[in-house]
Amino acid sequence: MSKFSGLATGKRVDGYVSRRAQVLKAVMKLQARLFFADPQWVIPNIIAPFIFTLVAFFLFGGQATSSSFLLYLVLGAGLMGMWGTTIYGSGFSISFDRFNGTLESTLAAPIPLSWIVIGRIVFNTLQGLLNAVLILVIGLTWFQVGFGLVNPPLFFLAAVCTFISLAAFGLVLSAVVVLSRKGGFITNAMEIPVYVATGTMFPISILPWLALPFAYFLAPTWGIEAIRLSAIQGYVGIGTGYWTDLGVLALETAGYLGIAFLLYKKVEAYAKRNGTLEEY
């Protein structure tokens, strides 16, 4: 199809980039409407990171005297919050279509499925950003965490890059489970292992050596390192430095995106050929 009708506005949209931008806008708009129609669904995504953080604060107890120590925790908790919603968005993006019977219409849209899923995941990850802010506010008010950032612009850059990497990782996961009716549940099971492997609440150096390759493979590991380096005075972490962390993060994110698009192309073609996507 050389010409394409805009999904949300009805205007004709030409060009590779503008067509996809139009789709992303329409999907995110729909996601936002679904969210505001039934906002209770944000609770399952917030509750796990929130309770994990609360338990961590209790465990820290008397040790939680230094503000940099608390900031370390709060930043990790923020990442957990973002990850919780990303994983929910990626795992259930197709599952909910199955539940609601809208999968066929979604598949029939003249745009690759991957772009529709990207829109959904980006919205959910943005929602996760709200979780992160909520946890930060709780940290600042309830636990009296000082929030003096070492370098605010670098902190902002690292946060944005981490946000993109989480969305990209979510896209890979969604591509892996898209054919399965168990998709949402499988990705949900990834929630806590990723908290552990990315060092959200403790340095990855204390993990067993067997777990380290997984930790290094996960882009959010580098993201949280860069965030902490730009936020906490005297933070050392892995020791690779801010720009190296950001470089590895960018490389891995690009890798995730490449893998995700390739997988989606193959999976979508396979599902259409075999008629298995609707399987419930």
Partner 1 sequence: MKNTERLGFPERFLTALRVFKGAFFFGRKGLIIWDSWEMWVMQIAITPIAQIGFFAFLSIYLKYPVSVTQYIVIGNALQSMSFSAVFAVANITSQDKWQGTLPSTMVTPANRVALFIGRAWFQVLLSALIATAGLVYAGALFGVSFASANFVGIAVVIFLTSAAMISFGLLISAVGLYMRTALIVANVFLFVTLFLSGVNFPVSSLPGWLQPFSWTIPLTYGTTALRMAIAGSSLTALLPTLGWEALDGVLVMIVGYALFSGFETLSRRTGRFEEY
Can you give the binding site for partner 1, defined by CB under 8 A?
38, 40-41, 43-44, 47-48, 50-52, 54-56, 58-60, 63, 99, 181-182, 185-186, 189, 192-193, 195-196, 201-203, 206-207, 280
From the CB of 158, what's the least distance to partner 1, in Å?
Answer: 22
**88 vs 123, beta carbon nearer partner 1:** 88
Residue closer to partner 1, measured from CB, 59 or 133: 59
Q: How far is the CB of 56 from partner 1 (least distance, A)?
A: 6
Nearer to partner 1, 30 or 54 (CB): 54
Closest separation in Å from C-beta 78 to partner 1: 16
Cα 46 from chain centroid (whole Å): 13
What is the spatial distance between Cα 231 and Cα 191, in angstroms, rounded to a whole number?
A: 25
Q: Name which of 217, 226, 198 is nearest 84 in CA terms.
A: 198
d(CA 170, CA 194): 12
137, 127, 117, 43: which is closest to 83 by C-alpha?
127
Q: Are 204 and 198 in contact (CB under 8 A)?
A: yes
Contact 170/87 with Cβ under 8 angstroms?
yes
C-beta of 16 vs 280, nearer to partner 1 = 280
Please identify, using beta-carbon distances, which residue of 52 and 155 lies nearer to partner 1.
52
Residue 144 CA, distance from chain mean position? 27
Smallest gap from residue 229 Cβ to partner 1 (A): 18
Among 9, 155, 194, which Cα is nearest to 71's?
155
| Cβ 200 to partner 1 shortest distance, Å | 9
What values do phi and psi take at 12, rounded to 5?
-80, 130
Find out whether 220 and 245 touch, Cβ atoms under 8 Å.
Answer: no
**Residue nearer to partner 1 on the CB measure, 78 or 119:** 78
Q: Partners of 12 in the beta sheet?
A: 5
CB of 128 to partner 1, least distance (A): 16
